[in-house]
Protein backbone atom coordinates (compact mmCIF):
# COMPACT_ATOMS: atom_id res chain seq x y z
CA UNK A 1 0.00 0.00 0.00
CA UNK A 2 1.31 3.41 -0.95
CA UNK A 3 0.99 6.36 1.40
CA UNK A 4 -1.32 8.12 -1.05
CA UNK A 5 -3.80 5.26 -0.77
CA UNK A 6 -3.44 5.06 3.00
CA UNK A 7 -4.06 8.79 3.48
CA UNK A 8 -7.04 8.64 1.13
CA UNK A 9 -8.52 5.90 3.24
CA UNK A 10 -7.70 7.53 6.54
CA UNK A 11 -9.13 10.87 5.45
CA UNK A 12 -12.21 9.21 3.96
CA UNK A 13 -12.83 7.27 7.15
CA UNK A 14 -12.63 10.52 9.09
CA UNK A 15 -15.83 11.49 7.31
CA UNK A 16 -14.51 14.07 4.86
CA UNK A 17 -15.99 14.30 1.41
CA UNK A 18 -14.08 14.32 -1.83
CA UNK A 19 -14.15 17.06 -4.43
CA UNK A 20 -15.16 14.59 -7.10
CA UNK A 21 -18.58 13.93 -5.63
CA UNK A 22 -20.19 12.73 -8.83
CA UNK A 23 -21.93 9.37 -8.66
CA UNK A 24 -20.82 6.80 -11.26
CA UNK A 25 -24.03 7.38 -13.21
CA UNK A 26 -23.28 11.10 -13.43
CA UNK A 27 -19.78 10.38 -14.68
CA UNK A 28 -21.11 8.08 -17.36
CA UNK A 29 -23.51 10.86 -18.37
CA UNK A 30 -20.67 13.35 -18.44
CA UNK A 31 -18.69 11.02 -20.67
CA UNK A 32 -21.58 10.51 -23.08
CA UNK A 33 -22.20 14.25 -23.17
CA UNK A 34 -18.61 14.91 -24.17
CA UNK A 35 -18.83 12.33 -26.92
CA UNK A 36 -21.93 13.91 -28.34
CA UNK A 37 -20.83 17.53 -28.35
CA UNK A 38 -17.18 17.64 -29.14
CA UNK A 39 -17.05 21.43 -28.93
CA UNK A 40 -14.38 21.68 -26.23
CA UNK A 41 -14.07 24.48 -23.75
CA UNK A 42 -10.36 24.03 -23.98
CA UNK A 43 -9.59 27.28 -25.73
CA UNK A 44 -12.15 29.49 -24.04
CA UNK A 45 -11.14 31.00 -20.72
CA UNK A 46 -13.78 30.92 -18.07
CA UNK A 47 -12.90 33.89 -15.92
CA UNK A 48 -13.29 37.46 -17.15
CA UNK A 49 -10.61 39.93 -16.10
CA UNK A 50 -12.84 41.07 -13.24
CA UNK A 51 -13.61 37.51 -12.13
CA UNK A 52 -9.92 36.59 -12.31
CA UNK A 53 -9.04 39.53 -10.09
CA UNK A 54 -11.80 38.53 -7.69
CA UNK A 55 -10.55 34.94 -7.46
CA UNK A 56 -6.93 36.08 -7.10
CA UNK A 57 -7.73 38.30 -4.14
CA UNK A 58 -10.12 35.80 -2.54
CA UNK A 59 -7.48 33.06 -2.80
CA UNK A 60 -4.88 35.34 -1.24
CA UNK A 61 -7.25 36.08 1.65
CA UNK A 62 -7.64 32.33 2.18
CA UNK A 63 -3.88 31.63 1.99
CA UNK A 64 -2.09 34.95 2.47
CA UNK A 65 1.59 35.56 2.04
CA UNK A 66 3.14 35.50 5.51
CA UNK A 67 6.67 34.41 6.37
CA UNK A 68 6.05 31.98 3.50
CA UNK A 69 4.55 32.66 0.07
CA UNK A 70 0.79 32.86 -0.41
CA UNK A 71 -1.79 31.84 -3.02
CA UNK A 72 -0.83 34.59 -5.47
CA UNK A 73 2.85 33.65 -5.34
CA UNK A 74 1.86 30.04 -5.98
CA UNK A 75 -0.13 30.96 -9.10
CA UNK A 76 -3.30 29.45 -7.69
CA UNK A 77 -5.62 31.42 -9.96
CA UNK A 78 -4.17 29.81 -13.09
CA UNK A 79 -4.92 26.39 -11.63
CA UNK A 80 -8.46 27.43 -10.75
CA UNK A 81 -8.98 28.76 -14.26
CA UNK A 82 -7.73 25.48 -15.71
CA UNK A 83 -10.00 23.43 -13.45
CA UNK A 84 -13.06 25.56 -14.17
CA UNK A 85 -12.46 25.42 -17.91
CA UNK A 86 -11.36 21.85 -18.45
CA UNK A 87 -12.45 19.82 -15.45
CA UNK A 88 -15.75 20.99 -14.01
CA UNK A 89 -19.17 20.36 -15.49
CA UNK A 90 -21.01 23.32 -17.06
CA UNK A 91 -23.44 23.34 -14.12
CA UNK A 92 -20.63 23.43 -11.55
CA UNK A 93 -18.93 26.20 -13.50
CA UNK A 94 -22.10 28.27 -13.69
CA UNK A 95 -22.74 27.92 -9.98
CA UNK A 96 -19.18 29.05 -9.33
CA UNK A 97 -19.51 32.13 -11.55
CA UNK A 98 -22.87 32.95 -9.97
CA UNK A 99 -21.13 32.70 -6.62
CA UNK A 100 -18.58 35.33 -7.68
CA UNK A 101 -21.44 37.64 -8.62
CA UNK A 102 -23.06 37.00 -5.27
CA UNK A 103 -19.75 37.88 -3.64
CA UNK A 104 -19.83 41.29 -5.34
CA UNK A 105 -23.46 41.75 -4.33
CA UNK A 106 -22.64 41.03 -0.69
CA UNK A 107 -19.77 43.50 -0.79
CA UNK A 108 -21.90 46.19 -2.39
CA UNK A 109 -24.53 45.69 0.30
CA UNK A 110 -21.90 45.92 2.99
CA UNK A 111 -19.50 48.56 1.64
CA UNK A 112 -21.05 49.85 -1.60
CA UNK A 113 -18.18 48.40 -3.64
CA UNK A 114 -17.35 45.28 -5.61
CA UNK A 115 -15.26 42.70 -3.74
CA UNK A 116 -12.00 43.73 -5.41
CA UNK A 117 -12.48 47.37 -4.45
CA UNK A 118 -13.34 46.63 -0.82
CA UNK A 119 -10.86 47.06 1.98
CA UNK A 120 -9.17 43.96 3.29
CA UNK A 121 -11.23 43.91 6.48
CA UNK A 122 -14.50 43.88 4.55
CA UNK A 123 -13.19 41.22 2.16
CA UNK A 124 -12.21 38.99 5.05
CA UNK A 125 -15.54 39.53 6.80
CA UNK A 126 -17.56 38.58 3.72
CA UNK A 127 -15.41 35.52 2.95
CA UNK A 128 -15.53 34.39 6.58
CA UNK A 129 -19.33 34.53 6.48
CA UNK A 130 -19.40 32.47 3.27
CA UNK A 131 -17.01 29.97 4.82
CA UNK A 132 -19.18 29.58 7.90
CA UNK A 133 -22.29 29.17 5.74
CA UNK A 134 -20.64 26.39 3.65
CA UNK A 135 -21.85 27.95 0.41
CA UNK A 136 -21.16 25.27 -2.22
CA UNK A 137 -19.35 27.57 -4.64
CA UNK A 138 -17.18 28.94 -1.86
CA UNK A 139 -16.29 25.47 -0.59
CA UNK A 140 -15.18 24.74 -4.15
CA UNK A 141 -13.11 27.93 -4.33
CA UNK A 142 -11.50 27.12 -1.01
CA UNK A 143 -10.81 23.51 -1.95
CA UNK A 144 -9.23 24.56 -5.25
CA UNK A 145 -7.19 27.24 -3.51
CA UNK A 146 -5.83 24.87 -0.88
CA UNK A 147 -5.28 22.05 -3.36
CA UNK A 148 -3.71 24.37 -5.93
CA UNK A 149 -1.40 25.91 -3.36
CA UNK A 150 -0.29 22.66 -1.77
CA UNK A 151 0.44 21.00 -5.12
CA UNK A 152 2.33 23.98 -6.56
CA UNK A 153 6.10 24.09 -6.48
CA UNK A 154 5.99 27.15 -4.24
CA UNK A 155 3.57 25.43 -1.86
CA UNK A 156 5.41 22.11 -1.83
CA UNK A 157 8.65 23.86 -0.96
CA UNK A 158 6.96 26.05 1.67
CA UNK A 159 5.44 22.95 3.30
CA UNK A 160 8.77 21.13 3.25
CA UNK A 161 7.41 18.41 0.95
CA UNK A 162 9.87 19.11 -1.86
CA UNK A 163 12.58 18.15 -2.52
CA UNK A 164 11.92 14.51 -1.65
CA UNK A 165 13.85 13.00 1.26
CA UNK A 166 14.89 9.80 -0.59
CA UNK A 167 14.68 7.78 2.61
CA UNK A 168 12.16 6.43 5.08
CA UNK A 169 12.03 7.08 8.78
CA UNK A 170 8.81 6.03 10.46
CA UNK A 171 9.54 7.66 13.77
CA UNK A 172 11.50 10.83 13.05
CA UNK A 173 11.51 13.91 15.29
CA UNK A 174 8.90 16.37 14.03
CA UNK A 175 11.52 19.02 13.33
CA UNK A 176 13.97 16.63 11.67
CA UNK A 177 15.34 17.79 8.35
CA UNK A 178 14.80 15.59 5.35
Among positions 74-113, residues that touch other proteins (CB under 8 A) are 79, 82-83, 86-87
Q: Are 100 and 178 in contact (CB under 8 A)?
A: no
**Which residues, 6 or more positions from 109, have their beta carbon under 8 angstroms from its beta carbon?**
none
- Out of 19, 98, 105, 133, point to the residue binding other proteins (CB under 8 A): 19
9 contributes a contact to other proteins by CB under 8 A = yes
State in angstroms the smallest separation of the CB of 22 from other proteins: 8
DSSP structural state of residue 37: -
Rounded distance between C-alpha atoms, residue 30 and residue 142, angstroms: 24
136 contributes a contact to other proteins by CB under 8 A = no
- Out of 98, 128, 133, 136, point to the residue binding other proteins (CB under 8 A): 128
DSSP 90-156: HHHHHHHHHHHHHHHHHHHHHHSS-GGGS-HHHHHHHHHHHHHHT-HHHHHHHHHHHHHHHTSHHHH
121 contributes a contact to other proteins by CB under 8 A = no
166 contributes a contact to other proteins by CB under 8 A = yes
125 contributes a contact to other proteins by CB under 8 A = no
- Out of 35, 44, 49, 121, point to the residue binding other proteins (CB under 8 A): 35
140 contributes a contact to other proteins by CB under 8 A = no
37 contributes a contact to other proteins by CB under 8 A = no
Strand, coil or helix: what is 83?
Answer: helix
Rounded distance between C-alpha atoms, residue 158 and residue 7, angstroms: 21
Sites for other proteins among residues 44-63 (CB under 8 A): 61-63
Amino acid sequence: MERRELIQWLVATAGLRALDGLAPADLFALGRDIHRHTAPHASGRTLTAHAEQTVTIAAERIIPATETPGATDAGVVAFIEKMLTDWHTPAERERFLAGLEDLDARCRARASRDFVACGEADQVAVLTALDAAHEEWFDRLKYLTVYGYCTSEVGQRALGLFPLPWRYDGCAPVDAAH
